[in-house]
Structure 1
Amino acid sequence: MTTETATHDGPYVHGYSDTEARRLDDQANTLADLLHAGTAYPPGSRVLEAGCGVGAQTVHLLAASPGARLTAADISGESLARAQARVAAHAPAAEVAWHHGDLHELPFPDGTFDHVFLCFVLEHLADPAAGLAALRRVLRPGGTITVIEGDHGSAFFHPDSPAARATVGHLVRLQSDAGGDALVGRRLHPLLSAAGFSDVTVRPRTVYADASRPSLVEGFTRRTFVAMVESVRDDALSAGLTAPAAFDEGIADLRRTADPGGTFHYTFFKAVAVKP
């Protein structure tokens, strides 16, 4: 979907504004039950959250795994400061070790962690398999990695609109030009296998919003997906991908999917694998 981090591979296409931080928080809170279901770590286990960003997912990890020894890492010092403030506000008793650095160059010894968790990170890496291999090194044999990614190709909606689909396509193109892949969700099984993990399982986590599910219409369709696409307007225009009127028409049509009579569908993919 979108991540909260950046790496040396390229810039974070959504930026680091206060608006983006709020959008990430809305996304994490709206999708917490869907994405975090089944993820809980035993007390005392050593867990690395790679690409913690502003901590939107961190607080949900801590809530599900009291007593786990969490290390949260991110390359953005600004995002890491936001994450520390968020954890202090939402989980003041939690003890978290914070690391400022690139996930490709983690300073931890081999086999430091029992579990690794990353959410909306691989989509921003030019070489996701290399990133996974770097994380595999710091995971102990028998330890698990959990990876959650979106796939913008899974978005479909009513009323359908060529203009809306084209506008989503501009976001996909911008992310590709920045060295990432907004369609990475469909690749999780082969990526994890290529990085040397075993027992790879990938399961879809589907969001469907219509008038009978107003919290998802507001929290996901409007405040997560449409807001995410709308945030790249200036970049899409600067890159010459579209004209202002065409982009705005696409956004207006996306917003109609959140009106009465509209529907919106999106699929996330959650993978769990083991280091042999």
Structure 2
Amino acid sequence: MRTATAYVHGYSATEARRLGDQADTLAELLHHDTGYPAGSRVLEVGCGVGAQTVHLVAGSPAAAITAVDVSAASLAAARDRVGDRVRWCRADLFALPFQDGEFEHLFVCFVLEHLPDPVAALHALRRVLRPGGTVTVIEGDHGSAFYHPASPHAQHTIDCLVRLQPGDALIGRRLHPLLTAAGFRDVAVTPRTVHADDAHPHLVAGFTHNTFVAMVEAVRDRALTAGLTTEARWREGIADLRRTGDPGGTFTYTFFKATGVG
């Protein structure tokens, strides 16, 4: 992504753990149908700390995977997490140091949501994809979150995150038109819904608490500084949001996975 783009969640060790929890909890939901042939050249864009790269490698152990990120610190963490099975490269998405058509597959997960112009980003990626190659894009959509007990105070905290995100926190619903506008064909999008309740305690812990609530909690200081909330209102909203992970609570969220051909 462009070096000027702010990552709203920050680069702390806490955020790295959250990304790992999210990737591990949702691996089957998001990646069970992603696999690349032996020897195929795959580019993962915006790999961050390698939380998704782990599962990309697990699903395609014989593919030739290159992972790119703009942050040197994130790449170092990714290398520590995944090892040298992947070729690591520090680069800006809009200035990739690769030849035209160098890759047969592109993998983009939780990147477009942070960019002010996702269509321009997709155009830039198409340059390094060979004709007939595939793209896979995964994004969330914070507008898809619904939960019990319902609470306008909890919703207020989620809305703060949506307003603070530099790109589009509701981008999941837009993947088909975005990829089509960027020139990809045969675009197909499938919703991937996670539902956490008492019958799925691993999802309550891994997704409700350690992924979603943790993500919202991380923007507290920014929300206060921006004047989007008050300390008292934030505390009430976060307390209500946490209750969705208590016994009797439920939390539902939908991710969107798109594939297309370059």
Fold conserved (TM > 0.5)?
yes
The answer as to 2:25 corresponding to 1:38 is no
SS at match of 1:203: strand
- Residue of structure 2 equivalent to 1:119: 109
Q: CA deviation at 1:274?
A: 0.2
Letter in 1 for 2:119: A
- Residue of structure 1 equivalent to 2:59: 64
Query: Which residue of 43, 47, 51 corresponds with 2:46?
Result: 51
Question: Can you list the C-alpha shifts for 1:185-211, whole angstroms capped at 9, x where unaligned?
Answer: 000000000000000000000000100
The answer as to 2:70 corresponding to 1:75 is yes
- Residue of structure 2 equivalent to 1:98: 88
- Residue of structure 1 equivalent to 2:227: 240
CA RMSD of aligned residues (A): 0.8
Q: CA deviation at 1:9?
A: 4.8
SS at match of 1:80: helix
Question: Can you list the C-alpha shifts for 1:6-57, whole angstroms capped at 9, x where unaligned?
Answer: 5335210010000000000000000000000110000000000000000000
Structure 1 portions without partners, runs of 5+: 1-5, 89-93
Query: Which residue of 54, 69, 80 corresponds with 1:85?
Result: 80
SS at match of 2:10: coil
Letter in 2 for 1:108: F
Q: CA deviation at 1:107?
A: 1.3
- Residue of structure 2 equivalent to 1:269: 256
Query: Which residue of 158, 161, 169 corresponds with 2:159?
Result: 169
Task: Point out 4+ residue stretches in structure 1 off by more than 2 angstroms.
Answer: 6-9
Number of residue equivalences: 262
The answer as to 2:194 corresponding to 1:207 is yes
Provide the C-alpha distance between the structure 2 equivalents of 1:203 and 1:103, rounded to a whole number of angstroms.
25
Question: Can you list the C-alpha shifts for 1:159-181, whole angstroms capped at 9, x where unaligned?
Answer: 00000001100000000xx3x11
**1:9, 1:125 within 8 Å by CA — same for their partners in 2?**
no
**TM-score normalised to structure 2 length:** 0.99
- Residue of structure 2 equivalent to 1:28: 23
Letter in 2 for 1:95: R
Letter in 2 for 1:217: V
**TM-score normalised to structure 1 length:** 0.94
Report 1:14-25 matches (<5 A): 14-25=9-20
Structure 2 portions without partners, runs of 5+: none
